[in-house]
Structure 1
Amino acid sequence: MAIRSVETLDRHYSAFEGNWKVADCSAEYGRLVVPHGNSEEPLYRWFHLKEAFSSRLLDRLLHDVGLSVKANLAIADPFAGSGTTLLSGISACERNGHRAHVFGVERNPFIWELSHAKLQARILGNSIAGSFAAELEKIKKFYEDFKYDTFVIPGLSTLKNEKYFPAQYMQDLLRIRHAIDAGATQETRSIFRVCLASCVEPSSRLRRDGRALRFEPSRDPKLPWEIFLDRVDLVRRDLESTKPAASGGEVVLGDARQVSSLATEQEFDLILFSPPYPNNIDYTEIYKTEAWVLGCYESEAEMKAQRQRTVRSHPSVRFSQEFVYLNSAVAADVHSLIDPVVSCVPVGDRYSEGRKEVIIGYADDMLRVLVECRRIIREDGRLVFVVGNSLHGSGDSKYVIAADVIMGRLAELSGWRVSEVKIARMLKRRAGESAFLRESLVILEPV
């Protein structure tokens, strides 16, 4: 059954892909769709976001889509994440003697603050290094002043579990947060808060493995204040070595499905994004401890509401069952695209309905994003998305969600033409199970 399902879907996806140029570009792009090199790069190394792509991707991409020589590029990323597109867009343009205007949207409040802090640092650079150092001294003083204060631990049970966070360490993390709030100005507060966020995991016996938080009982938590000072020193050095940018930009807290209204009548030469993949990963859950320590949520209800506002890429929560495409002119085309995938979801287990909802909801959300992006692209502009496909189910009930093909077809229904699909890497651990188990860059042109 598994072989028949996989082969049936492979033929289904091939029927759409047959009209496109598809090329194996793994030699050029394989190391660029992962955060290769970011851990050594100033600004990029402030917080490890496993889902990021390389700071070096944009240089290669601008060359390949013919935009590297265009002056004063306007670049947008409706899934800004840790800000890689925004920072590398500024750097790539300024290396060529041009300015850039960058614009990003991010839904997760903690990750938004991460991208906002890094973009602020990239634009202002060493012009704020002096004030950053002076405000650190204020933070140190407030930290000492709060020595005997007891702070209310946020309502997340994970933070109150002393197997995960020693009680004194959690108090210390909160003490640092309150010292930042008291001692930092608006210009540097987010940068200091990112320094604090980078202390949360090392202060605990928890580890992010990309899919969830794992308890590591043998792990030795580190002292938060010591980690914080080390991180602040690294950030200070990065600020001092960063020349202020001639370019500008912003990242807003909002929804990629509404990007045209958030961009306030702007138009862009390049839209580059990597959306959440339909692979059952709940990013709100993975980065919840950082968000709670920073005070992004005040209750479990707020966090649940945040999860339900995100793209429908996983079945961890029950999302809205409203589907915009059903009332659109392309409803029949969308059905012909996703119905064969939905029909391969195994029935009879507790995950069946959630898995079907992921396929339908993800297609609906990506259609909305692509329609919105079409409204803000210049007529000679390009859109590039990076997305990975995934194998679901087990045993005789396996099926593939080829997100690159699904999104490519949805793009055609949204006023785009698929210029090329660049296969960046095949998922080697799944070799032989399907030709569509891959990660790709899909290049679109407006029509």
Structure 2
Amino acid sequence: MSSQQHQRALVYKSLWHAGPWLLAVGIILVGANLRASITSVGPLIGLIKDSLHISNTLSGLLTTLPLLAFALLSPFVAQLSRRFGSPLVIFAALLLLTAGIVVRSTLGVTALFVGTAMLGLAIAVCNVLLPSLIKEEFPRNSGLMTGVYSVSMNVVAATASGLSIPLALNGGMGWRGALGIWAIIGVVGILLWVPQLLKVRRTANQAVVSARTVNVYKSSLAWKVTLFMGLQSALFYVPAAWFPEMMSGQGMDSETAGWMLSVLQFSQMPFTFIVPIWAARVKDQRLLVLIMAVLYFIGLGGFLLGATQWSVVWVICIGIAGGFAFPLVMMFFNLRTRTPQQAAELSGMAQSFGYLLAATGPTLFGYLHDATQGWTIPLLLLLCLSVLLMFIGLGAAKKRYVGGEVDDQAAI
């Protein structure tokens, strides 16, 4: 063996022994890239509309397009993973995400929407594969790892929404610079994911064959998880896209309204860490679903009643509710399946149909606002969605498995 081959072997060996830590850091950085490129848009919608002269309905597509991309690509992600391996597919997604952010921020209206679609496709890949990767690599700590990457995702997302207006106006970057700066996080994620490409991984031909015996599309439980995914996504992406605009219309200055979106994000953070661990340790998760629903009712009801002096309270309630909803559905992918491949297939199904459902949210919310010239009917829509989310969630939270009966001996 040559000295160069020996050095390469030592590198592979060190990466193999440091694998769990490197993978954990990589997952955290991937999570950090999953929402910032979307939450940074909401506070800037007014500036983008004025600059490019687009309508409320069309500007709603800036949030809807990623959801449509999620819906289109998600069913095929598990197949890509089987063929090329999850590390390589995630790496390619990070490259596409970073390129999409740059394209969106540099040219005209067409590039704005093309770049948005690109980053949506990239996020779809990571959304589908992270839960199954965690189930495979951290089977005894799936709740902890889900919490860790959820927190990283929300920390960066909250920072992005809060800094958008200051960067655009006070920093002199304009809306293009305020959107484009988040490509830096993508570059960091790419660099820190490289070690996963050097590790010895199972090939695509070593996929778990037994996972294919379950047809998730014929499972009523899988459809409940899918609906839960779609509804909770709508209840995140609509506020992310429209609440800053809504609060500005109620008399709040644009910078404060942007920071209110950060308040929504930061209020989620402790719960995106706690809820997955809690969910992994209990027999079923129906109590968590009920707590989530009550918080949504309080927050949305407060805005609906027009009590704007308590806006920060309503935002915090909605944020905490989202801090329950998102990690719950991520845990459902693991807790309602028996193998990593089943988790990937359920995740792909849920995120495809679920995000297709969620994609109508921001555009419909904007359309209702345009049609009524007010916020009451759009807010009533969100309140109805939260009621439906509760009932669907109670069904998804019972302890059972896609394609099989309850197994009390299943490991968590």
Larger fraction in strand: 1
Is the structural similarity TM-score above 0.5?
Answer: no
**TM-score range with shorter-chain normalisation?**
under 0.3
Larger Rg: 1
Higher relative contact order (CA 8 A, sep 6+): 2
Larger fraction in helix: 2
